[in-house]
Structure 1
Amino acid sequence: MKQRTVEDTQPWYRQFWPWFILSIPLITIVWCIFMITMAIQSENAMVNDDYYEKGLAINQELSRDRRAAALGLSASMRVDGELVRVDLSGAANRERPFPFLMLNLFHPTLGDRDQRLRLIHQGEGHYRATLPAALENRWYLEVRGPDNDWRLTGEASLPLKDPLTLVPATQG
């Protein structure tokens, strides 16, 4: 005959296994509530509501790339702390230098960190601007002409150790 132990005589709520088995669905429910709350409260900046308009704009962007390639434009860019220097080369810039250029800095995931700078002509194809603060990590870069009819693109991990070459996207 088997003797009864203290464990056998305890009520169910004092046993280990019922609580262990019940903890799995309880933890799952709490985790689901947390995830649903996070999904509702946080905005997903990666999703674009006007994807149709963005799709239509692709053709316009490609024409800007083709225009920069036709003008033979390319640029060398340096970022030293908060100072941005761009050296633009190409026949169009030598004949009649642009008074200024626009530099767009796009963060890959956080749209609120995107920046737009006006690069001022310093002479002989050199342009310069000052950043509000030194940048770090990965960025997409875009230099556009004053009439927004051409663009040069690139990608960099800032700060830069060596100059970065920006070319039309059709050549990249």
Structure 2
Amino acid sequence: MQTSEQTVKQTANPWYKEFWFWFVMAIPLLAIALGIAMLTVSIKGADTLVRDNYYKDGLAIRNDLSRDYKAKDLQLAATIKVDNLTGDINVKLTGELAQFPAKLSLSLVSPTIPDDDQSLLMRHIAKGHYVGQLKQQVKGKRYIQLETIPTERDKYTDNDWRLISAWYLSNEQETISLGSTTATATTETN
């Protein structure tokens, strides 16, 4: 006859083979794994759009408006043609300029993804015509800024100006018109 102690020894499995042990331990182990995953995502996906010194940035915006007023006084308007297939950008600038600048800066800024921002140097090829090349395709909403390049770093003179607007690029070819008061975008189809 077997004793109850011998029966227990024969039927009992080791702890790591027991279903209920793993059923109970799954919840804390899952919580630890999800916690590590959330911590990793929060560290790698930090919001880079938040600025530390927003008050100072706000004061700088007030100073920049003088260039916008200068563009309005000169009655500047620009037609920008973007070709996402070839990467070509053509700018036709009109207005009451005594002399067209040799180079202009064109910035295409994404409102949410800083890695998608592009800053291009536009070269003057003919009276009021400028050309440049995209580094990568541009899709979605962008803030566009066409401006003169300051002679010294971040020191603008009374002759410096800029045209700014927001637009949404949806197709391969797009034409954007920037003016002193309005901006429009039209899509070209082949």
TM-score range, shorter chain: 0.7 to 0.9
Decide whether aligned partners of structure 1 residues 31 and 59 sit closer, same or farther in structure 2, where only a CA change above 3 A counts.
same
- 1:64-75 counterparts in 2 under 5 A? 64-75=67-78
- Normalised by the length of structure 1, the TM-score is 0.72
- 1:98-113 counterparts in 2 under 5 A? 98-113=101-116
- Normalised by the length of structure 2, the TM-score is 0.66
Does residue 1:150 correspond to 2:150, yes or no? no
Amino acid paired to 1:58: I
Does residue 1:127 correspond to 2:138, yes or no? no
Aligned to 1:156, what secondary structure does the other structure show?
strand
* Contact 2:82–2:174, Cα closer than 8 Å, also in 1: no
Aligned length: 159
- 1:46-57 counterparts in 2 under 5 A? 46-57=49-60
Does residue 1:116 correspond to 2:119, yes or no? yes
Decide whether aligned partners of structure 1 residues 106 and 69 sit closer, same or farther in structure 2, where only a CA change above 3 A counts.
same
Aligned to 1:161: 173
- 1:83-102 counterparts in 2 under 5 A? 83-90=88-95, 92-93=96-97, 95-102=98-105
User: Take 1:161 and 1:83, find their aligned partners in 2: how far apart are those partners?
Assistant: 10
Unaligned runs of 5+ in 1: 1-13
1:21-69 deviation per Cα after TM superposition (whole angstroms, max 9, x unaligned) = 9866764554334213321343322222232221111102222212111
Shift of 1:165: 0.8
Q: Alpha carbon RMSD of aligned pairs, Å?
A: 3.0
Shift of 1:86: 0.3
Percent identical residues: 34
Greater fraction helix: 1
2:138 to 136, 139, 142: 136
Amino acid paired to 1:101: L
Aligned to 2:6: none
